[in-house]
Amino acid sequence: MTATQDPISDVEPGPEASEPTTRVSWRDRINAEAAIVLFAIPVIVVVGFSAFAIWNATATKDVVVESALAWPTIWQQIWEHVKLTFVSAFFVVVIAIPLGILLTRGGAKRFSAPVVGFANAGQAAPSVGLIVLFAMWMGFGFRTAVIVLTVYAILPVLRNTIVGLQGVDPTLVEAGRGVGMSARSVLLRVELPLALPVIMAGVRTALVLLVGTATLATFINGGGLGATLQAGISLLRYPVIVWGAVLVALLALLIEWLGRVLELVARPKGV
């Protein structure tokens, strides 16, 4: 009996041991909060946009409201707003992440606090005033709007890059160097993967900040959904103001959702 029981005891625990590991990994990556984000936010966006489409097709509107909320105008402004957001986000990532890495290396560490303080000061400045000042200096248009938005949104990504890299366990870095990895390999294969969740959280924050601030680009002819809000305010058309604000909020929710999805996908397994 003893000889026949040993093989069974060796075989049966196998599936039972592997199942909890799979479940824990899945729950770590898709918890309750992530499930709400992944499924509830797209539903909210679809419902909100459908409500606008139904109202726009059935409501009685005067000539001003009809012109401001016409579909060709709305689609053009949404495209301009998305372009402003993602072009600015691209430059934010290209500038802030390498700068954050540099400020955690060697002698450059002593400059990290002043640089983050300067970035904090830039973000604390009123966004409207910053946009107007840059427009007076560099001229009006899309290019100036992108520069202003990039400067305004650098802080979250820069700060999170520094914090994420500084939070990596030094023993892991030493272990990597101990097995013969170069400083570059340790950065790319150990430090950045471990800091990636924190960095992606900063990118997501920057995206949401860019969506909201991009509404001000209309004051310097940068385009975007801010033009609808400006038209509603200047012409005292409350439906235009309300639906312009709703469209900006829905776009912010959608981009926030995309940022969370990217953050979830980019998170290394086991982190």
pLDDT tens digits for range 139-154: 888 888 899 898 888 8
Q: Does the pLDDT of residue 11 top 50, yes or no? A: no
Q: Which fold would CATH assign to domain 17-266?
A: MetI-like fold (1.10.3720)
Write the burial class of residue 221 (CB in 10 Å: 0-12 exposed, 13-18 middle, 19+ buried): middle
- The conformational region for residue 203 under phi > 0 = left, psi -120 to 50 = alpha, else beta, is alpha
* Of the ranges 20-29, 128-137, 182-191, 196-205, the best mean pLDDT one: 196-205
Query: What's 70's DSSP letter?
Result: -
- What's the mean pLDDT in 41-64? 88
Dmax over CA atoms of the chain, in Å, equals 92
% of the chain beyond a pLDDT of 70 = 82
The residue length of the chain stands at 271
DSSP string, 181-230: --HHHHIIIIIHHHHHHHHHHHHHHHHHHHHHHGGGGGGGT--STHHHHH
Q: How many CB atoms lie under 10 A from the CB of residue 29?
A: 14
10 vs 245, which has greater pLDDT? Answer: 245
What does the pLDDT read at residue 271?
Answer: 52
What does the pLDDT read at residue 89?
Answer: 92
| Domain edges within the chain | 17-266
Task: Give the whole-angstrom CA distance, residue 223 versus residue 176.
Answer: 49
- What's the mean pLDDT in 186-191? 79
pLDDT band at 47 (very low <50, low <70, confident <90, very high): very high
Question: Is the separation of the CB atoms in 176 and 193 below 8 Å?
Answer: no
Comparing 22-26, 53-57, 117-121, 132-136, which segment has the lowest mean pLDDT?
A: 22-26
- What's the mean pLDDT in 209-226? 87
Comparing 14-28, 143-157, 210-224, 253-267, which segment has the lowest mean pLDDT?
A: 14-28
What does the pLDDT read at residue 85?
Answer: 92
Q: Does the pLDDT of residue 41 top 70, yes or no? A: yes
